[in-house]
Structure formats: structure tokens, C-alpha cells
Amino acid sequence: MNLAYRDIRHGLGRFLLTCVGLGLLLGVVLAMIGIYRGLVVEALTIARAPAVDLWVVEANTRGPFAEASRIPADTREAIARIAGVVAAGSITYQTVEAEYQDRKLRLYVIGYEPTRPGGPPEIEEGHTIARSHFEMVADRSSGLVPRDRVRLGRDTFTVVGSTRQQVSSGGDPVVYIALQDAQKLQFDLAPPAARVQLARGTGGTGRDTVNAVIARLHPNASPDAVAETVRRWKHLAAVTQEAQELILTRSLVDRARRQIGLFTSLLLAVSAVVIALIIYTMTMEKLKQIATLKLIGAPDRTIIGMIVQQALALGLIGFAIGATLIASIKDYFPRRVVLEPDNVLALGVVVVVVCLLASALGVRAALRIDPATALGG
């Protein structure tokens, strides 16, 4: 006869309500872990999108994400000629706000050369940029879909394709446009300012500047060796892909990552205390029954089994509710929530361990109950 099951069945409504409460709490823990993972994944998305091995940026900077970087666009031709480089492309990054359907749309604009590295990794709908001007590939999270038209700067762009889950480290949806359009958007002065510059005699400066040149290397080429070659040009710096990812996670999102990590740890500690309290209270409510069981000769394993099984049932059902809840609503979060199986499993293991530790408190209390408590009123 399973006493834990019978007791749960007897007070099923109350038990399930407790499970739902615990499930919500564990759901929040899981969401925070997902947000934490999402933050790291999002930070790396843009750096990983072009699938390159080397980033060439302005000297003495760790650009183009952690710091501003501007280098001449013709750097790409010099980089492409280095031994070991298979392909190179110029690229620009900027954040713009555009009007779309009477609302402000914050976009992270990537300018790239359509036939070279730097473009969208995968087109989910439509096609990639086919014309040299005024076409755009937009991430679905922006709300833009193929055939939409949106004004950036002084030009109107037509959305020709959609990507999925391409956002900046700040969570802004990414749009890809042709490099020349991006350069115009980033470096062209507004007409009045341009006229002032012309009048001063300083106008007409070239806008052929990019934020970085990216390079794909031959599989046998060493990124460090090629980076060393690039650094011989004093006006350039080179960062390998590995180093770029490290910059992003250690520098750009480090504080946010640590903040969320700390908050998640606190939530986990709170959950542990709540689980312990619930299980301890559940045991305390059954003191008279436990005393009676001991008095009539129930072995310790019967009492321990009842407490431990109920604690595990509570934890696992609560965890299942929390995990199901977050898995169902994670796509509605404004920023990406990444639930990786190993993270979910790790939390499940933590919940089991917490339940066992919490039930140990209850078991200790139960085993110390004097069976004589059952006698008398």
C-alpha cells in the first residue's frame, strides 16, 4: 500500500495547487536560465552569422561590436590577397530607427557585399538581395515580411527575404542591405549639412569606409598566423573568430550576463527554501498520523518512504508544470529564451536534490516524534 500516493489522492486539489505554485516558481527559474542563455546566444548570433575566421578592424580597437571601428573599404582587397584567405568581405553595422506602420522600428542594419561573406546565413522566406540598391532582407522579429517597404534614411527599401532569430546583442532585429546603401545611410551627411561642408570646401570626402573586413580562411590556414600578418599594417587590427566571441561574451554582455546569473542563483535559492518549507510543513501536519504509525509498529522505511515519495512527487510535478509552461510561452518573450535540454535536465536534477534534502528535514522531524504523542487527546 503506497501511503504517499493515498495521501496525495486524498488531498488531490490542495496537492495540485501546491504543485502549480511550485511549478510557477520553477518556471520563473527556468525562464531566467533561458533568458541568460538567450542573452549569450543573441550576443554571438551576429558574430557567427557570416561564418568567418578573421575580423579585420581599426587599429587599437576591439571592434566592430565592442568598440567603434572604421577602416577603408579597399582593405578588403588587401586582405583577400593574403595567403590562406579564401574569401573576404567588407561589412558595416549600425542601429537605426525607422517608421513602420505608424510605429518606431529599431533595427540593426548590416551592410554587406552581396557576393561576398557577411550576408544572412539562411533565408527563411523570399530570396537574398539580388539588386545592387534598395533591397533588404529582414528578420521576422522586426515584423517586416517580403514585399513590405520601409524607409531608412532618405531611401525606401523593399523587403525581399526573411531570416529567423537574427538579432543584435541588444535584441534589435537585424536587417541586411547592400554595402553601398549602408555606407550611404551611415556616412552621408544630411543635405543642409553637406551644403555647409561644400561651402567650407571640405565636402566631397569619400564615404568608402567600412566597420570591418571579414575573412574566411582555408581549412589549413592558421587564423592566428593570418591575424599576425594583418597586424603588420599599423592602421589595422585583426581578431580571430574565437577572440571575437570572447570579446562579446566577456565584454559586451558580461554585466547583463552576470546580473541575470546572480538573479537566477537567488531564485534557485528561494525555490529551494520554498520547497523545503512546503515539504517540512506537509510533514508537520501529519505528526499525529506518523506518531500513530510508529506506535502501531510501522517500520521507519514506511514513514521515510511516505515523506520522500511525496517530496519527489511535489518537486517533479512542479518541475514538469514549470517546464511545460515556459516551453509553451517562451516564444512570446520579447527577447530570445533558449531552453537547452542540458539546462532543463540540470534544473531537474537540482529540484530532485533539493527535494531529497528538504525531505531529509521532514524525515528527521518524523523520526524524532515520540510514538506516545498518539496517545491522549
Partner 1 sequence: MPDEKANQPPLVRLRNLSKHFGEGETRVDALRDVSLDVQAGEVIALLGPSGSGKTTLLNIIGCILDPSSGSMELDGEVVLRDGRWVRPNLRRLRLDKIGFIFQFHNLMPFLDATDNVALVLQMAGVDPREARLRALELLDYLEVGNRRGSMPAQLSGGEAQRVAIARALANKPRIILADEPTAALDSKRAGIVMDLLRKVAVERDAAIIAVTHDEKIFDRFDRIFNLRDGRLDV
**Strands 103-112 and 174-178, bridge-based pairing:** parallel
DSSP E strand boundaries for the chain? 54-58, 71-72, 85-100, 103-112, 125-126, 135-139, 149-152, 155-163, 174-178, 209-210, 212-217, 236-240
Give 144 or 303: the residue with its C-beta nearer to partner 1: 303
Indicate whether 94 belongs to the interface with partner 1 (CB under 8 A): no
Indicate whether 285 belongs to the interface with partner 1 (CB under 8 A): no
Q: Three-state DSSP class for 108?
A: strand
- Nearest distance in Å: CB 298, partner 1: 5
Nearest Cα neighbor of 88 from 125, 120, 56 is: 56
Cβ atoms 154, 194 nearer than 8 A: no
Among 207, 288, 335, 364, interactor with partner 1 by CB under 8 A:
288
Indicate whether 203 belongs to the interface with partner 1 (CB under 8 A): no
Q: How far apart are CA 324 and CA 332, in angstroms?
A: 14
Q: DSSP class of residue 173?
A: B
Indicate whether 11 belongs to the interface with partner 1 (CB under 8 A): yes
Residues 289-308 that bind partner 1 (CB under 8 A): 289, 292-299, 302
Indicate whether 336 belongs to the interface with partner 1 (CB under 8 A): no
In the shown chain, the binding pattern of residues 117 to 156 toward partner 1, with x for contact by CB under 8 A and - for none, equals: ----------------------------------------
Cβ atoms 160, 146 nearer than 8 A: yes
Q: Grid coordinates 589595422 are at which residue?
A: 236
Indicate whether 368 belongs to the interface with partner 1 (CB under 8 A): no
Give 206 or 297: the residue with its C-beta nearer to partner 1: 297
- Nearest distance in Å: CB 313, partner 1: 14
User: Which residues make up the interface to partner 1 (CB under 8 A)?
Assistant: 1, 3, 6-7, 9-11, 288-289, 292-299, 302, 370-372, 374-377
